[in-house]
Structure 1
Amino acid sequence: MLETFPSAAAVGEACAHAVAACLKDALRTRGRAGLVATGGRSPGPVYDRLKDADLDWARVVVTLSDERCVDMSSEESNARQVRERLLTGRAAKAHLLPLWPKPDPAALAALTPFDAVMLGMGEDGHVASLIPGDPGLSQALATPDLLADVPEGLGKPPVPRVSLTLSALLNSRAIFLLVAGEAKRQVIDRAKAGDDLPVARLLNQAQVAVRVFWSPSH
């Protein structure tokens, strides 16, 4: 489950190759592909390589695992990072479905099951914006709805957010979890041992395969 790499660059190469393979398979078998991208530092090296993948990007729709409720021009916007780092080069032809403002639920549902889901993880064990301490976390982990609202005061920065629910994340064909540093590796170990963390809900289920890419540093 945990795949170890010497550097963030090596993670980027391996994960980009794996995600591209999922998208290629979807394009070949279904004629379209859906990718869930994510924010934070970890996916950057993946995007740097994935953007040049030899795909029919015009038939790929990219959405996000979660989003801060800020304008897309804000430096805090995950969509901005995806636009600037992934949706360039060959990947500029892909379509972006932002989570803020909230999309039409039917448009988001049409992407499911997602062909590939990319996620990071915090040292508190959160994935997407399924954050410990959120009074709505239990609902977000249990609801069949695709989206959950997250109040301000949680995460960094502590702004309101919208997140894919656990049900939405698991409505996918493959999940790729990007983890860096010894502290986060210990969180993975705790989650696999049974600690009640959001990431444990991903790791300790049999519905969809989860590959964890770990490197000692970003």
Structure 2
Amino acid sequence: MELIEYVDSDIMMVDVANRIAGELEQALFHEDSITLAVPGGTTPGPIFDSLCAADLPWDRVNVVLTDERWVPEDSDRSNTRLIRERLFTGRASAATLLPLYQQADAPEEKLNALAEGIAPHLPLSVCLLGMGDDMHTASIFPEADRLNDALFGDGILYPMRAPGAPEPRITLSAKVLQGALSCHVVIIGEKKRAALEKAISLPPEEAPIAAVLADAVVHWAEV
């Protein structure tokens, strides 16, 4: 694991966006199309605001969420809605979204169809992840109902229900995240820094972020 510390999160977000843009550009030298995986939530928004302006052939870039809440896209809790508003603008509007949601009562009903849409675009070229205070990443939560499957299974996607998560989720598996050619984890604040340091010495069943740390670059700012 490589850890990069920043003076503040504004500088960090611009730097991470520039690094990802550079890695995408390098990957496009070798592949006709590539895949970028990104998280939802509020933290990566500023990264998307910078990344969307990168001068890249975005029509050769596929974008997939690392995880999604099982809610319609017009919901305020939809990660898909977030990246459409913050990433799929400007130059990046030419990218292709690989969906993690289709209309259905439960993720299990659409799991196979969604996985089939992602499979041809693996491995991930670049993966951006966050981490919760509980050391979860994507929607791989400690104490979740499909935790072991998501950590150790061979599938692309897994449905996930966890204490404290108000709706079902769907998540890329640890196997897919680990297969990324480049992985970045972005965290802010002393609490998450402490959680990161704790996760390093824990098994992934207790700290799911530990499943991806070995080859990741972790970016941290105190504020």
Give me the TM-score of the superposition, normalised by structure 2: 0.90
Report if aligned partners of 1:153, 1:160 keep a CA contact under 8 Å in 2. Answer: no
* 1:216 alignment counterpart: 222
Identity %: 35
* 1:183 alignment counterpart: 191
After superposition, the C-alpha distances for 1:67-123 in whole angstroms (9 at most, x for unaligned) are: 000001111000110000011011111111120124542320111111111111100
When residues 172 and 184 of structure 1 are mapped into structure 2, their CA distance, relative to the original with a 3 A threshold, is same
* 1:150 alignment counterpart: 160
Residue 31 of structure 1 deviates from its aligned partner by 1.7
Distance 2:13 2:140 in 1: 24
Distance 1:114 1:72 in 2: 24
Distance 1:105 1:40 in 2: 22
After superposition, the C-alpha distances for 1:15-45 in whole angstroms (9 at most, x for unaligned) are: 1111111211121111212100111122111
Residue 152 of structure 1 deviates from its aligned partner by 6.0
Whichever residue aligns with residue 29 of structure 2, its letter is R
Alignment of 1:1-218 (within 5 A): 1-101=2-102, 102=110, 103-151=113-161, 153-155=163-165, 158-194=166-202, 196-203=206-213, 205=214, 209-217=215-223
When residues 108 and 166 of structure 1 are mapped into structure 2, their CA distance, relative to the original with a 3 A threshold, is same
Report if aligned partners of 2:143, 2:162 keep a CA contact under 8 Å in 1. Answer: no
**Which of 191-200 and 6-15 deviates more?**
191-200
Distance 1:176 1:110 in 2: 23
When residues 90 and 168 of structure 1 are mapped into structure 2, their CA distance, relative to the original with a 3 A threshold, is same
SS at match of 1:110: helix
After superposition, the C-alpha distances for 1:145-181 in whole angstroms (9 at most, x for unaligned) are: 01010126443xx111100110111121011101000
**Which of 178-187 and 143-152 deviates more?**
143-152
Report if aligned partners of 1:130, 1:137 keep a CA contact under 8 Å in 2. Answer: yes
Distance 1:176 1:18 in 2: 9
Report if aligned partners of 2:152, 2:175 keep a CA contact under 8 Å in 1. Answer: yes
Distance 1:46 1:6 in 2: 16
Whichever residue aligns with residue 218 of structure 2, its letter is V
When residues 104 and 139 of structure 1 are mapped into structure 2, their CA distance, relative to the original with a 3 A threshold, is closer
SS at match of 1:121: coil
**Which of 144-153 and 88-97 deviates more?**
144-153
Report if aligned partners of 2:144, 2:163 keep a CA contact under 8 Å in 1. Answer: no
Unaligned ranges ≥5, structure 1: none
Unaligned ranges ≥5, structure 2: 103-109
Whichever residue aligns with residue 136 of structure 1, its letter is R
Distance 1:43 1:85 in 2: 9
Distance 2:57 2:139 in 1: 30
Give me the TM-score of the superposition, normalised by structure 1: 0.92
